[in-house]
Structure 1
Amino acid sequence: MSKYPFTAIVGQETMKASLILNAIDPSIGGVLIRGHKGTAKTTAVRSLVELLLPIKVVKDCPYHCDPEASSYIHEDCRLKAEKGEVLQSVEYSVPLVELPLGATEDRLVGSLELESALRSGDRVFQPGLLAAANRGILYVDEVNLLDDHLVDLLLDTSASGINRVEREGLSVLHPADFILIGTMNPEEGELRPQFLDRFGLCINVIGEQDVKQRSELVRRRLAYEKNPQAFCDKWEDTQNTLRQQIAKARFLLSEISVPEEVFDASSELAVKVGAQGHRAEITMIKVATAIAAFEERDRVTPEDILQASTMVLPHRLDRFLEQGGTELPKELQKAIVEVFGETPFLHEGGEAEEDEFEAIFDPDEDIFPGSFAGGMPIFSYLKKKHPMLSF
């Protein structure tokens, strides 16, 4: 059965934005999506891979190595390249690997191949799920229910892009560069704070509350179940539009300039909310740069940092778990007003473009409605450019 189209998902703009931004720049560090069941978390993750163009991989390489890479972690590919051998390439769909909740550490990192060991005594490494996910997406549903040591291992590998296996006389090093996406229902327990901080972004989702939106959601889902292929065909043009937009943004990413005021704004926000370390600022800059690339601009603006802060900072605050993470923390609301003032979406003309951007907060009440439930500007931009999109 064809996957439900990403562009046909009703609402949940911030969740969709977080996934697209990671697709544009995987170094953002993945995303943790928190929300109740039935809020399209898994549907969105599984459909994201359909928006990514196929990759070139070395033929028969278990790690999907890039045949045009300048160096290789995988020993076999490295030795062939050093000998001057031409590495044959094939096109390969971006892998989406799902980690089962009951997976063992051996299944995740890889292990000794018992059949070879028993038959010939050879120590042969059997790659695990981390190898299969290289250059793709590793999806962990109910990540909060995983054993802590597996979560720690996942986050360490995601950050380094390398899997090191030392066991049973084996010593293996292989690439494991993937986008880590975790989903969870906070009612079933929370992730420990030290794990939360390791996710680049954290998004909270709730069920759609608008009656018309809910009705449209139901209509689309029933139409999909009745005839999946016909439904997907109907959305193919919008899928292609977004697919090309992501590909172009990835190409433009290295050309985006970051003004000094943007660095200052990110650091000022981090200081005002008491974020520890510097991971928050680094991630905010990466997210803001990805937003600019998606909108086909050549430089990052303070407004991009504001948008990035709503996904990067909340889960790094001490009170995040205490308040449930259902809306932006008061500390962040206050910091945004102090750094950007009460009219953050001002453009070169000096006037807010009200037709394009809705007000994101009420200065009198100091409340951000629905944690940007109205959608992110990148989707307003895309809808304006391509009205058929459903965002």
Structure 2
Amino acid sequence: MTVQPVSATRPFPFSAIVGQEEMKRALLLTAVDPSIGGVLVFGDRGTGKSTAVRALPALLPPIEAAEGCAVSSPTAAEAPAWSGAGRRVVKKPTPVVDLPLGTTEDRVTGALDVERALTKGETAFRPGLLAQANRGYLYIDEVNLLEDHIVDLLLDVAQSGENAVERDGLSVRHPARFVLVGSGNPEEGELRPQLLDRFGLSVEVASPPTIEERVEVVRRRDAFERDRAAFLRKWSARDGKARAGVMRARAALGGIGTPDEALRDGAALCLHVGADGLRGELTLLRAARALAALEGEARITRAHIRTIAPSALRHRLRRDPLDEAGSTARIERALTELWG
């Protein structure tokens, strides 16, 4: 187990977040298997959405990349010529990049390096946020308020896994594969269906429902703000344990058994709730496999599918004007009707 060094700049620890188990589980599952897709976290303000994402890097294993490479290419041979990659391969933290609201397209995709163009007369590429996020995470707070042209751009990149910049005399392409994490308040607007479909898991969060939980949230936050170093020392071992669990699960993932019964269970559930397309089944499979690996199990069981079903399917249900129940309630009802 590796314990992260204590730093005054480190964010609130992941393990110290009170409650919100579904949100924490969803983020951990994408750390085990990024192919699950992104995580959408919708809910009230002040429920730990941003806190959880910004605490995630402490739980992510490092990646191997060419030293100095702007897109974190695994080797110098794979790095673009403009990336600044050296020959050595080094370990670096998994990137977790914020995409702020109101950011420009040039900042997201990258653009002409104006300073070099003016001072040296060179046409050079300045990498953007998509380059920084390659092989890591791209986080968008208030994702439902994102401008349409940025949404269109993200949809193109999410589908192709590549960022292409063709303007200002530039013709640049580079890999841009990342786990997309978005958070927001549903009262401020819904997400475009095309972007919603790109998230593998969708999580609903709410304010703590009991006095005890609310008191514990305040107690921990107050302790963090009063003496950050002491608080981080107290919780660093638990974050280290969680990180070790992610690494063990990654190593075990390829050996997790996938019985036909589990595949049939996933298909039956998606048909029962009327999930659009087949992404529901694929997400259920990948997430259940990652959950089994995280729990140290050798194969996927129905219990894993039941656990992950609300997160994998709640944003894939067709609207039913005759059913006033929310999507989560519809999934829970389907689970009961199918399996008791």
Q: 2:36 aligns with which of 28, 48, 51?
A: 28
Change (3 A) 1:295 1:41: same
1:76 equivalent in structure 2: 81
Normalised to the residue count of structure 2, the TM-score between the two structures is 0.91
The alpha carbon displacement at 1:122 in A equals: 2.7
Say if 1:314 and 1:329, in contact at 8 Å, map to a contact too: no
> 3-state SS of the aligned residue for 2:315?
helix
Structure 1 CA distance, aligned partners of 2:57 and 2:320?
30
Change (3 A) 1:3 1:201: same
Q: Indicate the residue corresponding to 1:39 in structure 2.
A: 47
Partners in 1 of 2:115 and 2:321 — Cα distance? 47
Corresponding residue for 2:95?
95
Amino acid at match of 2:310: T
* Equivalent residue, structure 1, for 2:319: 319
- Number of equivalent positions: 331
CA distance in 2, matches of 1:19, 1:143: 17
Q: Where do 1:129-278 residues align within 5 Å?
A: 129-278=129-278
In 1, are the aligned partners of 2:262 and 2:302 still within 8 Å (CA)?
Answer: yes
Match of 2:4 in 1: none
Deviation at 1:166, TM superposition (A): 1.9
Structure 2 alignment gaps of length 5 or more: 1-8
CA deviation digits over 1:243-269, x for unaligned, max 9? 100111011111112111111111111
State whether residues 94 and 136 of structure 1, in contact with CA within 8 Å, keep that contact through their aligned partners in structure 2.
yes
2:69 corresponds to 1:61: yes
Aligned amino acid, residue 26 of structure 1:
P
- TM-score calculated relative to the size of structure 1: 0.79
| Code of the aligned partner of 1:28 | I
Match of 2:58 in 1: 50
Structure 1: distance between partners of 2:321 and 2:88: 50
Q: Is 2:21 the counterpart of 1:13?
A: yes
Report the AA paired with residue 252 of structure 2. Answer: L
Q: Is the contact between residue 82 and residue 125 of structure 2 (CA under 8 Å) also seen in structure 1?
A: no
Give CA deviations for 1:308-363 in whole Å, capped at 9, x if unaligned: 21101111112399999966142x23432233x21xxxxxxxxxxxxxxxxxxxxx
Distance 2:233 2:21 in 1: 22
> What residue identity is the alignment partner of 1:44?
A
**Corresponding residue of 1:123:** 123
**Alpha carbons of structure 1 residues 176 and 263: separation in structure 2 relative to 1, 3 Å:** same
Cα distance in structure 2, aligned partners of 1:16 and 1:321: 32
- Structure 1 residues 324, 245: closer, same or farther in 2, change over 3 A? farther
Distance 1:41 1:308 in 2: 19
Residue of structure 2 in register with 1:338 after alignment: 337
Distance (Å, rounded) in 1 between the aligned partners of 2:41 and 2:65: 30
- Give the 3 Å change call, closer, same or farther, for CA 160–23 of structure 1 in structure 2: farther
Quick check: 1:315–1:325 contact (8 Å CA) kept in 2?
no
Cα separation, partners in 2 of 1:33 and 1:320, compared to 1, 3 Å: farther
Please give the alpha-carbon distance, in whole angstroms, between the structure 2 residues aligned to 1:2 and 1:324. 44
| Mapped partners of 1:110, 1:225: distance in 2 | 36
| Aligned structure 1 segments of 4 or more residues deviating by more than 4 angstroms | 320-327
Q: 1:327 to 1:39 in 2, by over 3 A?
A: farther
Deviation at 1:152, TM superposition (A): 3.0
- 2:66 and 2:75 in contact (8 A); partners too: yes
Q: Distance in 2 between matches of 1:119 and 1:144?
A: 40
